[in-house]
């Protein structure tokens, strides 16, 4: 049996690990509820054994540290977290323990997202930062600006810093995971982590596609004087901020309890995810009187909802075949109402997941929605198990084509060995034509299936040999649809090497890896002779990915595919822009704002053609900032660093 010291150390290690997975990797392995239980257990043990106090314990930290991929941003007023309560008894103790005199409280939804601070000066949004450790966060200003509900300008002459919660609406989360599942990418566990991952993209274009939103719930700094919290939120709402909804100012414990129960009843119908209710003292002066702990205010708590779970009977385990041949088991169970919708299916991930939980057909299983969205099998009630059930075995042949399958030990996956498997073919074509791959507009899953069923496409290269007359004969297709599709296919021939590499669907080669590989090797022919050692010498390419690449290009079918793509004019190399001069040689440019007569892409092309380099962030190494109308924080930063600012006319004069 562990000593108290050993148990404290073990809990600290567990929490540090899960905190990193949650805050920094955006890939949690346990639920918030389980994490909070571990956290409270550690708090209790540390309280009982003060001799083992440690300044590096997770209980004295807020969130995770800032990631190196973003510049750091310092919060002048710390972004503190809240202490949690898990029962009405604990909540009543908190309320009655604050003061002998009656207090009023603001009762608000606890939005399950990523906490940020937005800074405005003279009515202009100048920065947006994540919470980080409460003092130092990540500068995500450009990504923040992609959130449509955040005002870029407000009617406020002084300095204003507000705190809010960036979240992903449930509908956007479902659509994002549907797309990732189709592309056989890892699914986000819940909307909170999808929002966090989206806000921390280096490319703000990706963030913009994710349809993030925000609710503001506090003023951190202001030149105005407010008496109460609800007064400050009313002011924010008046000047254009989306303020946290379903809030009430209440006094008695019974009123607060009723409001929490009401929010619990409606939370399944909300368009956004909440994981509790925040109760905080309304009077700002009373807050000062009550004070704060190192990491949490004493005048507020978060009442956390436990996740809803229900039991049902597992009737079958069906197998889905993905584009890389992975056989994914899915649970089919008696329909149940859970978190506001009827569910009857859930992914079982892989054979190891089934074995660890000992899931069998006929079992009574406990279902929970991860993030109130994705159904998941949490556990098996073995006390209700029938005596004649047997452990589940993955099939030895592919359910789509009937060919043998093999066990991929490294990925705990079972794969179909048949490259011509119909299920793989459809999904490979869907991936090949997707927006981030070859971007063939009008060729969605339904059309891909239609082409396959009519034996017009057997692999991706067949797309480039299609004729308009073949397409217009198909069901729901006509001459105009056929002509548009042929034009889109023709246009995709110039997508470039990076997109082509991604489109091929090589395991573990995503958009970023494809871009790095294309920039390094320049021509697809190089991949037919490359070695694992050469690949692993490239930054961000690991040994497993390298072996997948080498294996893929060693297949005769790959050689045939590339030859056919080349034969019909698909560009299989990096197309270097013709260099026009060396006037920008050694110079680095940053473009910000809207230029009067050219797009940002056109300006970047001119910079590259004349020997320069275009980057997205301003630093001391930046040579010039090319600024147009409504230039943002990049312009402010350049002025602070003394970097020369160009308008479009001055920029073009330099070229001439």
Closest CA to 614 of 644, 591, 642: 591
d(CA 647, CA 624): 10
Helix runs in 183-303, H state only: 191-199, 204-209, 229-238, 253-266, 284-290
Confirm if 322 and 313 have CB atoms less than 8 A apart. Answer: no
DSSP string, 448-497: HHHHHHTTS-SSGGGGGG--HHHHHTSTT--HHHHHHHHHHHHHHTTS-H
Given a contact cutoff of 8 angstroms between Cβ atoms, the answer to whether 280 and 299 are in contact is yes
What are the respective helix, strand and coil percentages of the chain, to the nearest 5? 40, 25, 40
Q: Which of 13, 41, 72, 110 is catalytic?
A: 110
Token reading at 537: 């010498």
Contact criterion met (CB below 8 Å) for 378 and 367: yes
Q: Rounded CA gap, 650 and 641, in Å?
A: 20
- CB of 125 within 8 A of CB of 152? yes
DSSP letters along 595-606, please? -SSS-HHHHHHH
Annotation says 170 is catalytic: no
Contact 22, 189 (CB under 8 A): no
Instruction: Report d(CA 336, CA 21) in Å as an integer.
Output: 31
Residue 586 corresponds to which tokens in the numbers above?
């050694």
* Cα dihedral across residues 453, 454, 455, 458: positive or negative: negative
Yes or no: say if 584 and 614 are a contact pair by the CB < 8 Å rule. Answer: no
Torsion angle in degrees (nearest 10) through CA of 172, 176, 181, 182: 110
Q: For strand 405-408 and strand 374-380, is the pairing parallel, antiparallel, or unpaired? A: unpaired
Helix axes 600-609, 648-655, angle to 10 degrees: 20
Tell me the sheet residues that pair with 629: 594
The CA distance from 294 to 289, in Å, is 16
Mapped onto helix, strand or coil, the DSSP state of residue 174 is helix
- State how far the Cα of 650 lies from the Cα of 514, in Å rounded to an integer: 36
Compute the distance between CA of residue 104 and CA of residue 263 in angstroms, rounded to an integer: 19
Host H or E run for residue 500: helix 497-503
Cβ neighbours around 71 below 10 Å, total: 15
What is the length of the chain? 656
The Cα-based distances of 278 to 64, 84, 111, 338, 556 in angstroms read 22, 9, 9, 24, 61
- Identify the residue whose tokens are 């793509």: 565
Compute the distance between CA of residue 646 and CA of residue 652 in angstroms, rounded to an integer.
10
Q: Burial of 184 by CB count in 10 Å (0-12 exposed, 13-18 middle, 19+ buried)?
A: middle
Alpha carbon 487 to its chain centroid, in Å, reads 33
Per DSSP bridges, beta strands 159-167 and 114-121 are antiparallel
Strands 327-338 and 374-380: unpaired
Residues classed as catalytic: 110
């Amino acid at each position: 049996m562990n000593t108290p010291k050993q148990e404290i150390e073990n809990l600290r290690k567990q929490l540090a690990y899960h905190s990193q997975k949650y805050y920094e990797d955006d890939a949690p392995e346990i639920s918030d509820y389980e994490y909070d239980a571990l956290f409270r257990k550690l708090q209790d043990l540390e309280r009982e054994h003060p001799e083992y106090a440690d300044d590096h314990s997770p209980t004295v930290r807020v969130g995770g540290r800032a990631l190196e991929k973003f510049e750091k941003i310092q919060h002048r007023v710390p972004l503190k977290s809240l202490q949690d309560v898990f029962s009405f008894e604990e909540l009543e103790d908190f309320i009655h323990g604050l003061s002998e005199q009656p207090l009023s409280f603001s009762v608000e939804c606890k939005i399950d997202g990523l906490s940020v601070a937005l800074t405005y000066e003279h009515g202009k949004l100048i920065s947006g930062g994540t919470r980080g450790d409460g003092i130092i966060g990540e500068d995500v200003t450009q990504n923040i600006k992609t959130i449509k509900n955040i005002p870029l300008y407000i009617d406020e002459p002084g300095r204003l810093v507000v705190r809010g919660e960036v979240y992903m609406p449930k509908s956007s989360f479902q659509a994002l995971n549907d797309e990732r599942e189709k592309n056989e990418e890892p699914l986000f566990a819940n909307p909170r982590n999808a929002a966090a991952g989206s806000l921390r993209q280096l490319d703000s274009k990706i963030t913009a596609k994710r349809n993030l939103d925000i609710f503001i719930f506090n003023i951190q700094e202001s030149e105005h004087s407010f008496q109460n919290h609800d007064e400050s939120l009313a002011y924010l709402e008046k000047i254009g901020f989306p303020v946290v909804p379903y809030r009430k100012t209440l006094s008695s414990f019974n009123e607060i309890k009723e409001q929490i129960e009401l929010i619990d009843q409606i939370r399944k119908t909300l368009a956004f995810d909440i994981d509790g209710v925040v109760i905080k003292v309304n009077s700002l002066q009373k807050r000062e009187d009550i004070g704060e702990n190192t990491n949490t205010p004493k005048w507020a708590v978060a009442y956390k909802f436990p996740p809803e779970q229900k039991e049902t009977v597992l009737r079958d385990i069906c197998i889905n075949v993905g584009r890389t041949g992975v056989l994914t088991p899915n649970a089919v169970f008696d329909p149940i109402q859970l978190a506001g919708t009827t569910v009857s299916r859930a992914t079982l991930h892989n054979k190891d997941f089934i074995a660890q939980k000992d899931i069998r057909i006929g079992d009574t299983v406990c279902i929970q929605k991860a993030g109130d969205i994705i159904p998941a099998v949490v556990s098996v009630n073995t006390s209700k198990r029938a005596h004649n059930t047997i452990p589940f075995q993955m099939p030895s042949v592919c359910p789509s084509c009937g060919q043998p399958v093999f066990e991929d030990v490294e990925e705990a996956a079972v794969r179909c060995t048949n490259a011509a498997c119909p299920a793989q073919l459809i999904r490979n074509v869907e991936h090949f034509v997707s927006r981030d791959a070859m971007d063939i507009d009008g060729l969605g899953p339904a059309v891909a299936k239609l082409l396959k069923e009519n034996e017009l496409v057997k692999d991706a290269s067949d797309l480039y040999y299609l004729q308009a007359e073949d397409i217009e004969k198909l069901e729901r297709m006509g001459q105009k649809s056929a002509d548009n599709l042929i034009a889109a296919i023709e246009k995709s021939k110039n997508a470039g090497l990076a997109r082509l590499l991604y489109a091929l669907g090589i395991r573990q080669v995503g958009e970023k890896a494809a871009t790095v590989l294309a920039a390094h090797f320049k021509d697809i022919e190089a991949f037919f002779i490359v070695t694992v050692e050469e690949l692993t010498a490239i930054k961000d390419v690991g040994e497993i990915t390298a072996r997948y690449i080498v294996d893929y290009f060693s297949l005769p079918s790959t050689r045939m595919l590339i030859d056919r793509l080349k034969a019909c004019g698909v560009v299989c190399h990096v197309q270097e822009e013709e260099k026009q001069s060396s006037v920008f040689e050694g110079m680095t440019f940053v473009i910000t704002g809207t230029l009067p007569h050219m797009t940002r892409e056109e300006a970047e092309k001119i910079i590259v053609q004349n020997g320069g380099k275009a980057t997205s962030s301003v630093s001391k190494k930046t040579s010039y900032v090319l600024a147009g109308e409504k230039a943002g924080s990049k312009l402010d930063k350049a002025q602070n660093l003394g970097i020369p600012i160009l308008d479009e006319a001055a920029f073009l004069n330099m070229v001439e």
